[in-house]
Amino acid sequence: MSPLEPFGARLRQAMDTRGPLCVGIDPHASLLTDWGLDDDVAGLERFTRTVVEALADRVAVLKPQSAFFERFGSRGVAVLEKAVEEARAAGALVLMDAKRGDIGSTMGAYAEAFLRKDSPLFSDAVTLSPYLGFGSLRPALDQALLSGSGVFVLALTSNPEGAEVQRATGAGGAPLAQVMLDHMAAENQGVRPLGSVGAVVGATLGDAGVDLDINGPLLAPGIGAQGATPADLPGVFGPAVRNVLPSVSRGVLRHGPDAAGLRSAALRLVDEVREAVA
């Protein structure tokens, strides 16, 4: 199979045309209940299909959280495979929120699962954890380059516990998060219009206190239920705010199961983000 146009270029176009927003597909038990669905594979499938049909033709990125599908075993993974296929067919980029991190051949197997074009779970990008050392991600970085996919690497996450590791001082005196960001910047050096190696940086952080100029996308969870708003984005991301892709899950999903409600909530957030980062 021939490679796709690089993920960074495809994401830049999607953000500019559809708006800078990533909507998570997080079918956890409480949301299924709120939608009047059973916490089983049938409820999972109904929930997922509704979100994809409502949003895949209008938002830039959909981000399924693989854990909520994996908890149902092979039948849940089959629902995830179908959702990825249908979302991409409708024009959304799919970011698989798997947060994989390992070494050697195991990292290579994760890369093949999510980033090889003939895989049933092939996605436009995947989230990765670099805290076994950034070099441990090399099999995924190489596979992404080969297939035109991207990766989003955890840097400064929105959960309070993350600081224990991410703010710790590395061997050179910089926070470990900055060490990882510097690696990402090196991967993206010279790439236009946008690199394909992105960072995950929480929108709840206030002043991030690190250099976010990585020439790549910045996935920003934390809008909505975690307390951040689109108006907070310039203060967190500064000059890099144009490359920010805010990620929202419950803030949109709670408006289901009505498809019109989901679409209205997503488009309203797109407008708020555009106003905030203009």
What percent of the chain is predicted at pLDDT more than 90?
88
Weakest-pLDDT range from 60-64, 103-107, 221-225, 269-273: 221-225
- pLDDT category at 171 given cuts 50, 70, 90 is confident
- pLDDT category at 278 given cuts 50, 70, 90 is confident
Could you tell me if residue 168 is inside a domain? no
Cα(73)–Cα(213) distance, integer angstroms: 40
Per-residue pLDDT tens digits for 57-75: 999 999 999 999 999 999 9
Could you tell me if residue 162 is inside a domain? no
Tokens of 190: 């010279």
Could you tell me if residue 2 is inside a domain? no
Average pLDDT over residues 188-202: 97
Q: What is the pLDDT of residue 3?
A: 59
Q: Is the model's pLDDT at 208 over the cut of 80? A: no
Q: What is the pLDDT of residue 86?
A: 98
- pLDDT category at 226 given cuts 50, 70, 90 is confident
Could you tell me if residue 65 is inside a domain? yes
Q: Domain of 262: which CATH number?
A: 3.20.20.70
- pLDDT category at 1 given cuts 50, 70, 90 is very low
Question: Exposed (0-12), middle (13-18) or buried (19+): which is 167, by Cβ within 10 Å?
Answer: middle
Which residue of the set 63, 82, 99, 117 is catalytic? 99
224: left (phi > 0), else alpha (psi -120 to 50), else beta? left
H/E run at residue 184: helix 176-188
Angle, helices 41-55 vs 259-277, to 10°: value is 50
What does the DSSP assignment read for 114-169?
Answer: HHSTTSTT--SEEEE--TT-GGGGHHHHHHHHHHT-EEEEEEE-SSGGGHHHHTSB
Per-residue pLDDT tens digits for 175-192: 999 999 999 999 999 999
Average pLDDT over residues 119-137: 97
Active site residue 99: yes
Average pLDDT, the chain: 95
Weakest-pLDDT range from 17-31, 131-145, 218-232: 218-232
Q: What is the pLDDT of residue 237?
A: 94
Could you tell me if residue 165 is inside a domain? no
Whole domain around residue 121: which residue ranges?
7-129+142-156+179-235+244-277
Number of domains in the chain: 1
Average pLDDT over residues 241-260: 96
Computed from CA positions of residues 127, 65, 194, 154, in that sequence, does the dihedral angle turn out positive or negative? Answer: negative
Q: Is the model's pLDDT at 224 over the cut of 80? A: no
Q: Are 50 and 256 in contact (CB under 8 A)?
A: yes
